[in-house]
Copies of this chain bind each other. A is one copy, B any other.
Amino acid sequence: MQRILVIEDENDIRQLLRFTLEREGFAVLEAADGLGGLNMATAELPDLVVLDLMLPGLDGCEVCRRLKAQAATASIPVLMLTARGEEVDRIVGLTLGADDYVVKPFSVRELALRIRAILRRGSRPGQGSVLCRGRLTLDAEAHRVTLDGEEVPLTATEFRLLEDLMRHAGAVRTREQLLNAVWGYSFEGYARTVDTHVRRLRAKLGDEAAALETVRGVGYRLRG
């Protein structure tokens, strides 16, 4: 899970950010002043820093400059929060190496989008888009699964389930793990829901269903 450090002195805004970003699936670290933020960034090396420009003590510009100055944190992208009218400061912030800025009062939606855009840019060469395992092929980008070259029509949930199993081919996945990966951490449901979807997946996989094994008392495993 990607971790975001929020450096912001106003409690209300910090909590709003925590709430929003956690709902978006990020882990959130918090700092209420510049020096604390700098130390936490250095110690924790988050994936991104959201940095308020107006801070007590060390201000945002200085924090940004120091982040970029030390090698360990230099590559961490920084998103600046600026109040309307801080034009000059904004400019300086960007000059110091921030990757983007958002003007307060900001839309949480826009903020989340910009964060995702920045993170996406940095993590391109990650996991390949196409997974193959025997007769099965899964193309994450096209959202398409083929069996012996024939397309298998899957629903969104079935697709995510198969994707998780294929990414962990050969390993047993517990119901808990599958619930977290496929349904998300906030899902409050019955573990046996997984069973139902495994069954639906098996039905659509025809004779290849044999590769989706039950490990009694533990979970499921895609033979790899």
A-side interface residues toward B, CB under 8 Å?
12-13, 15-16, 19-20, 87-88, 90-92, 94-95, 99-101, 103, 105, 107-110, 113-114, 117, 141-143, 155-157, 170-172, 176, 180, 185-186, 188, 215-218, 221, 224
Question: What copy number does this chain have within its complex?
Answer: 2
Q: How far is the CA of A88 from the CA of B12 in the complex (A)?
A: 7
Cβ contact of A109, chosen from B90, B100, B110, B155, cutoff 8 A: B100
Pair B217/A156 contact, Cβ less than 8 Å: yes
Residues of B contacting A113 in the complex (Cβ-Cβ under 8 angstroms): 176, 180, 185
Which 3 A-B residue pairs are closest in the complex by CB-CB distance?
A: A156-B217, A12-B91, A143-B172
Pair B142/A172 contact, Cβ less than 8 Å: yes
Pair B91/A16 contact, Cβ less than 8 Å: yes
Pair A142/B156 contact, Cβ less than 8 Å: no
Pair A107/B142 contact, Cβ less than 8 Å: no
Q: How far is the CA of A142 from the CA of B171 in the complex (A)?
A: 4
Q: How far is the CA of A100 from the CA of B186 in the complex (A)?
A: 13
Pair A100/B107 contact, Cβ less than 8 Å: yes
Pair B170/A216 contact, Cβ less than 8 Å: no
- Give 7 A-B contacts (CB < 8 Å), ordered by A residue: A13-B91, A103-B105, A109-B188, A110-B186, A141-B171, A142-B172, A143-B215
